[in-house]
Amino acid sequence: MVQTTVVLPTYNEAENLPLMVDALIALPVNILVVDDGSPDGTGDIAEHLAAEHRGRISVMHRTEKSGLGTAYIAGFTQAISLGAEYIIQMDSDFSHQPKYIPDLIAKLEQGYDLVIGSRYAWGGGVDSSWGPYRKLLSWFANAVYVRVLLGIPVSDATGGYRIWRRETLIGMGLDRIHSNGYVFQVEMVYVAHRLGFKIAEIPIYFPDRARGQSKMGSGIVFEAAARVWQLIYRHHALNPQMRRTEVS
């Protein structure tokens, strides 16, 4: 059995985390929760769940809310050092549905280095409550703007439901990643692509969160659009010879 770890960043997900763990524990994966000192006690709940499912769940506590990007970098680094071969990243609010995990693993095993769960791949979709403007903006940002500018073979560059091979994350060198928030997701896929890693997508349906509160506003989309240019400047010269061979 290939050791697979799901990295779950949490900030005030007290309602969602126990349900998420219930769903994930039924799958052949370990869980690594990265909690940023959630005021609602998510960190304590994570510890109780870890005690209940000893050996399947570990928890990292950071003292303050420091953003999704740095939470993933910390979680990926820890998952690698704990020996994970496959590393899955997903939100804890059920917008990323655990039922797609077997599809992500199966696709990776067809010989890819990174697989992205895509809302804009054929057969995927977003919550039916999204209005036409929001839908069009998100589709355009991902499937056209970022895709064309960065030349990446991906229709959902900001999507955060992904599976990585350990060798991909090590080869990328996580110290090369500077962004937090939405752009973090874009920077990760761009660096992977410039280094020649093979990337695929599977379609996912993306429902809105049913419980708890959103931490990210939609205004961030415009800032992210500008920051894509910064990513080009920073990483366009990377090539497959520049892969790393060990964790730095």
Ligand X SMILES: Nc1nc2c(ncn2[C@@H]2O[C@H](COP(=O)(O)OP(=O)(O)OP(=O)(O)O)[C@@H](O)[C@H]2O)c(=O)[nH]1
In the complex, the residues that contact Mg ion under the rule CB under 5 A are 91, 93, 95, 209
Angstrom distances, CA of residue 42 to CA of 38, 52, 65:
6, 15, 13
β-partners of residue 58 are: 32
Could you tell me how many residues of this chain bind ligand X (CB under 6 A)? 21
β-partners of residue 61 are: 35
By C-beta, is 23 or 149 nearer to Mg ion? 23
Q: Does 65 bind ligand X (CB under 6 A)?
A: yes
The nearest distance, CB 215 to Mg ion, in angstroms, is: 8
Within 8 A by CB and 6+ apart from 21, the residues are 31, 49, 53, 57
Shortest CA distance to 65 belongs to which of 93, 32, 38? Answer: 38
Q: Which of residues 79-108 bind ligand X (CB under 6 A)?
A: 91-93, 95
The nearest distance, CB 122 to ligand X, in angstroms, is: 22
The nearest distance, CB 123 to ligand X, in angstroms, is: 21
**Angle at CA of residue 216, ends 162 and 139, nearest 5°:** 60
Which does residue 201 touch among Mg ion, ligand X, none (CB within 5 to 8 A, set by kind)?
none
Structure tokens that stand for 58 in this block: 């570990």
Q: Does 210 bind ligand X (CB under 6 A)?
A: no
Chain residues in the site for ligand X (CB under 6 A): 9-11, 13, 34-36, 65-68, 71, 91-93, 95, 208-209, 214-216
